[in-house]
Amino acid sequence: MDGITIGGNKRFVTQTKRALGLLKTRSNRIYKNVVLPYVKKIKAHKTSGMNVFAKVPTYEVGSKTAFASSRWYASTIAHDAYHSKLYSDYKNKHAGRVPRKAFASQKAELQCIKFQIKVAKKIGVSAADIRHLKSLDGSHAKLRKINW
């Protein structure tokens, strides 16, 4: 969809297109300026998180995230696109390896949550889910173990 490759079963693909459609129609500027440039692939996975080290920036999505609701899923796509943006921004300004703290630290996580809340409000995520996002302190960034 619009240059984003989607990998998964038919149900996953349908749900992903629905979530991307919400972003495109309800938050087009963010869709064009943050999602499309920084997410090139979305694929079904055991857990959810942005893989900035794949051949193309890939949002790997667990079923709990993908099938919670289309609006919630859409907000997570924006969240993880922002992680990819942070990675890319650092890489474009500095030589050498991108440090984890630039895109996956507690500070980076808080930036992504703030962005997700902004998007969530635009696309109609429930008030309860927005309250949940506001309660997060970014410490869950440490939960997903990736070999950097």
* Tens-digit pLDDT string for the chain (148 aa): 899 999 999 999 999 999 999 999 999 999 999 999 999 999 999 999 999 999 999 999 999 999 999 999 999 999 999 999 999 999 999 999 999 999 999 999 999 999 999 999 999 999 999 999 999 998 865 544 443 3
For residue 22 the two structure tokens come to 């919400």
Task: Establish if 147 belongs to a structural domain.
Answer: no
Domain membership of residue 28 as a residue range: 5-142
How many distinct structural domains can be found in the chain?
Answer: 1
The pLDDT value recorded for residue 117 is: 98
Q: Is residue 18 part of a domain?
A: yes
pLDDT, residue 142, reads 55
Check residue 138 and give left, alpha or beta (phi > 0: left; psi -120 to 50: alpha): left
pLDDT of residue 141: 58
Phi, psi for 4 (deg, rounded to 5): -95, 125
Tell me, yes or no, whether 104 lies in a domain: yes
- What CA–CA distance (Å, rounded) separates 21 from 48? 20
Kindly state whether residue 82 falls inside one of the protein's structural domains: yes
pLDDT at 8: 97
Asked whether residue 117 is domain-assigned, the answer is: yes
Residue 148 lies in a domain: no
Confidence (pLDDT) at 84: 97
pLDDT number for residue 145:
46
